[in-house]
A = this chain, B = another copy of it.
Amino acid sequence: MLTAHTIKIIQSLDKKKYRQKYNLFLVEGNKIIKELPDSDYQIADLYSADPELLPIETVKKEKILPAELKKISFLQHPKDSVAVCKLPDQAVIKDVDIQIVLDGIQDPGNLGTIIRLADWFGIEQIICSTDTVDVYNPKVIQATMGSFLRVNVCYTDLEEYLSQYSCPILGTDMTGENIYNTDFPKKFSLVFGNEGNGLRPSTEQLITKMITIPRFGNRQSTESLNVSMSAGIILGNIFSTR
């Protein structure tokens, strides 16, 4: 049986302030939770409506009622289990060949989808501006479908970081070089901007080359592609020749 105090703490974990205060974040669903023991993440508490289905022996599992699960889940349709995990130390930037850089991405679904894409294409690192949505936001974690376990997501001052980065910095906009004509170097950063406003000027001025997904359809539409879809199409193109 969950105490009101526990429920209150778990419910607060959708806010970064409380994740940092309690040093905890949430992972939902057996499918992702089962991957935790093989990762660097530590489970603090594990709550499940059906603990038999969760073969994790190293942590105490608490059986809870579906009604309790509903209270502590952030999903519209709660899954089987919720793992409360310890927030890791801040990720340290590594030296990698291809990395994604995010300048002020706000939508948790977009960040989660981009982490999932990075995992699919074997991109080990994503560098985020400090105002990008937090990777430990429960909606981001959920949208990664477990890929957050395999991608190094770091937050830093982008202007400072990119000023010292010595390889090409590719940005994406609506008027850059056609991605299908671009020779992608061995080592580079691929930068995506905010959903509504694109790259901020301080980031834009550090871009080495702008690239664009050409529109084949009706030019009448002023609508662009969503940022995570753009990332998928560009990554798909980069890896087509590797």
Interface residues of A (CB under 8 A from B): 113, 116-123, 145-147, 150, 180, 213-218, 220-221, 223, 225-226, 228-229, 232-237, 239-240, 242
Q: Could you say which of B116, B217, B220 contacts A223, with CB atoms under 8 Å apart?
A: B116
Q: Could you say which of B116, B123, B216 contacts A120, with CB atoms under 8 Å apart?
A: B216
Q: When the two chains form their complex, are residues A236 and B217 in contact, meaning their CB atoms are under 8 A apart?
A: no
Residues of B within 8 A of A113 (CB): 226, 229
A225 to B216, CA, bound (A): 24
Of chain B, the residue at the smallest CB distance from A230 is B232
Known pairs A147-B223, A150-B221; A121 contacts B236 (CB<8 A): no
Residues of B within 8 A of A223 (CB): 116, 119, 145-147
A214 to B118, CA, bound (A): 13
Q: When the two chains form their complex, are residues A150 and B217 in contact, meaning their CB atoms are under 8 A apart?
A: yes
Known pairs A116-B223, A116-B225, A232-B229; A217 contacts B180 (CB<8 A): no
A187 to B186, CA, bound (A): 35
Q: Could you say which of B122, B146, B180, B218 contacts A150, with CB atoms under 8 Å apart?
A: B218
Residues of B within 8 A of A146 (CB): 221, 223
Known pairs A116-B223, A117-B229, A223-B146; A122 contacts B217 (CB<8 A): yes
Known pairs A223-B116, A236-B236; A216 contacts B147 (CB<8 A): no
A19 to B225, CA, bound (A): 29
Q: When the two chains form their complex, are residues B216 and A242 in contact, meaning their CB atoms are under 8 A apart?
A: yes
What are 21 A-B pairs at a CB distance below 8 A?
A: A113-B226, A113-B229, A116-B225, A117-B225, A118-B217, A119-B218, A120-B215, A120-B217, A120-B225, A147-B223, A180-B240, A213-B236, A225-B232, A228-B229, A232-B232, A232-B233, A232-B236, A233-B233, A236-B236, A237-B237, A237-B240
Distance in angstroms from A219 CB to nearest chain B CB is 10
Residues of B within 8 A of A147 (CB): 221, 223
